[in-house]
Amino acid sequence: MAEILVLAEHANGDVKKVTWELITLARRFGEPAVVWTGPGAEQGQQSCAEFGAARIYVAGDAQFDDYVVAPTAELLAQLIRDKAPALVLIAGTAEGKEIAARLAVKTDSGLLTDAVDLTPGEDGNPVAEQSIFGGSTVVHSRVKRGTPIVAMRPHSVAPEPASGAADLSPVSLAGQVDGAKVTGRVVAERGERPDLTEASIVVSGGRGTGGAEGFQIIEKLADALGAAVGASRAVTDAGWYPHQFQVGQTGKTVSPQLYLAVGISGAIQHRAGMQTSKTIVAINKDGEAPIFELADFGVVGDLFKVVPQLIEEISKRK
Ligand SMILES: Cc1cc2nc3c(=O)[nH]c(=O)nc-3n(C[C@H](O)[C@H](O)[C@H](O)COP(=O)(O)OP(=O)(O)OC[C@H]3O[C@@H](n4cnc5c(N)ncnc54)[C@H](O)[C@@H]3O)c2cc1C
């Protein structure tokens, strides 16, 4: 069976959920082989096995800590030459996409980014689904040259358990790699809430919240659900909430299991960043708001009346 390389995303030995998603996806095409760079593979082995990884190529070279993305791209290129995988899957994060692009150049292969699904075509080769032009068009595309490299948008696939051996197989870089070197690390200040792009639930607020004070209701709802907070550009431009939480074409792209749009009209630029969410719930006082065209469930009403009742119901169920 063909081998499918999956680049692991991990931190301090904890495997990120997107890695399980990629292993699950890899099983559609062949035998998943995880590529692990840096320390912690022994800690991550069990969870990779639980999602069906047949083996884990472990590269613990110091270079992986010293450099940003260059050694990982070089290692993957080396593995493509040595193992001839049928497909390489990488998380569509900022770092993942940079690695994928470098790998495509190194191996003269085709690259598909921001895929939201990947299925075998008639000939068994992967066909990616992508949402383009601000989310207004869905395209299906395939790689015609080299080894297909696909950067998948996180949360696009539900991880499904399956048992795998996840045998550890040491590999190392053939040579020294140049490139941008890490000179220092600073741990980002983070609250208790999950990261916006990784959260399985996102609660976003819009201009309907009326101001920074009104926006606090969005944080309360997010905390009741254990969710991340997002915001429309109207909110971030007005300074009601920081820009790093903006969802949309010029903000973050999210694809959680559940997205709540509260007091957001649903402009195309906002939709571009959230429309691949699995379930979308909208709360808006205007029954004609475009967000309802997209929503799976909607409540027409004043958010300052609806959201407190929602929080009360959620707290009763805890
Ligand atoms: C190049 C470009 C890039 C852009 N990028 C982004 C982007 O990345 N992300 C983004 O979000 N936007 C982006 N925009 C802006 C976008 O076009 C919209 O202006 C913006 O999304 C509107 O934000 P909003 O829905 O919060 O506000 P509005 O469109 O003003 O909608 C507010 C909604 O709240 C409802 N409402 C009001 N009061 C209440 C209440 N009490 N209870 C319930 N509902 C209420 C209203 O009915 C209305 O539907 C971009 C625009 C451009 C031109």
The 10s digit of each residue's pLDDT in 107-123 is 999 999 999 999 999 99
Residues with CB under 6 A from ligand 1: 206-208, 232-235, 246-251, 263-265, 267, 269-270, 273, 283-286, 289, 302-304
Ligand 1 mean position, distance from CA 234 (Å): 5
Measured from the Cα of 249, ligand 1's closest atom is 8
State pLDDT tens for residues 259-294.
999 999 999 999 999 998 989 999 999 999 999 999
* Tokens standing for residue 242: 């920081």
Distance of CA 249 to the CA centre of its chain: 16
Q: Cα(274)–Cα(266) distance, rounded to whole angstroms? A: 10
Could you read off the pLDDT of 190-208 as tens digits, one per residue?
A: 678 988 988 889 999 999 9
Q: Is the whole-model pTM more than 0.75? A: yes
Backbone phi, psi, residue 292, to 5°: -70, -20
Closest C-alpha to ligand 1, atom 11: 232
Q: How far apart are the CA of 115 and the centre of ligand 1, in A?
A: 26
